[in-house]
Structure 1
Amino acid sequence: MPRRIVDRMCRSIHTLHNFEPSATSEEVHAAALQYVRKISGSTKPSKANQEAFDRAVHEIAHITQHLLNDLVAVVPPKNREEEAAKARARAVASGRYSAA
């Protein structure tokens, strides 16, 4: 039986659904870029792969925006600043981040 490797999603990709204010097009593009980088294994594609890389980022950002527009939330939206403060507090508590 093949060994399965379970990896966490790229830490640079954050939840974009059900926040107030809504995700910006820049945030959607950044998530798409991180996704393509992760699955391609490349942060900077070669010249031969640049067009395919850029097209993938564009298409993933486009469909991601459609997904976010179509999702229905059943709970009130979260506040971005409050969630960011909670994440920083968790990082400090775990020793992954030092408050300077």
Structure 2
Amino acid sequence: MCRNIKTLYNFDPPATDEEIQAAALQFVRKLSGFNTPSKANEDAFQLAIGEVTEAARKLLGSLVTNAEPRNREVEIERARLRNAKRFGNGSE
């Protein structure tokens, strides 16, 4: 589940609200053990997603670095190469 949470800090362009909320959703799913909560837990689940999203937004807004922002396309290519090395290229 949490493998889907990606680093969101120090990218150009910055992480979108949708990316931050998706990471919060994955985090809450991992903590709760629910992919989809029951009706009885839906309100608590949604509240937690909102609170984690806001905390993540505050964190990303307050971090500082002297490093150059990372390029999304370069990072995607690096991840693709790592996956090909780890899992093979799928043509076998």
- So what's the TM-score if we normalise by structure 1? 0.86
Structure 2 CA distance for partners of 1:97 and 1:22, relative to 1, 3 Å: farther
Q: Which amino acid aligns with 2:49?
A: V
Alignment of 1:57-76 (within 5 A): 57-76=49-68
- Corresponding residue of 2:77: 85
- Corresponding residue of 1:56: 48
Bigger CA drift: 29-38 or 69-78? 69-78
Structure whose residues are more often helix by fraction = 2
Structure 2 CA distance for partners of 1:94 and 1:57, relative to 1, 3 Å: same
Task: Kindly indicate whether residue 9 of structure 2 is the aligned counterpart of residue 17 of structure 1.
Answer: yes
Structure 1 unpaired stretches of 5+? 1-8
Structure 2 CA distance for partners of 1:93 and 1:23, relative to 1, 3 Å: same
1:94 is displaced (CA, Å) by: 0.7
The Cα RMSD (Å) is 1.6
CA distance in 1, matches of 2:5, 2:89: 18
SS of the counterpart of 1:11?
helix
User: Structure 1 stretches (4+) deviating beyond 4 angstroms?
Assistant: none
Q: How many percent identity over aligned positions? A: 48
CA distance in 2, matches of 1:49, 1:22: 32
Deviations 1:24-80 (A, max 9, x none): 000000000000000100100000000000000001001100110110012001001
- Corresponding residue of 1:98: 90
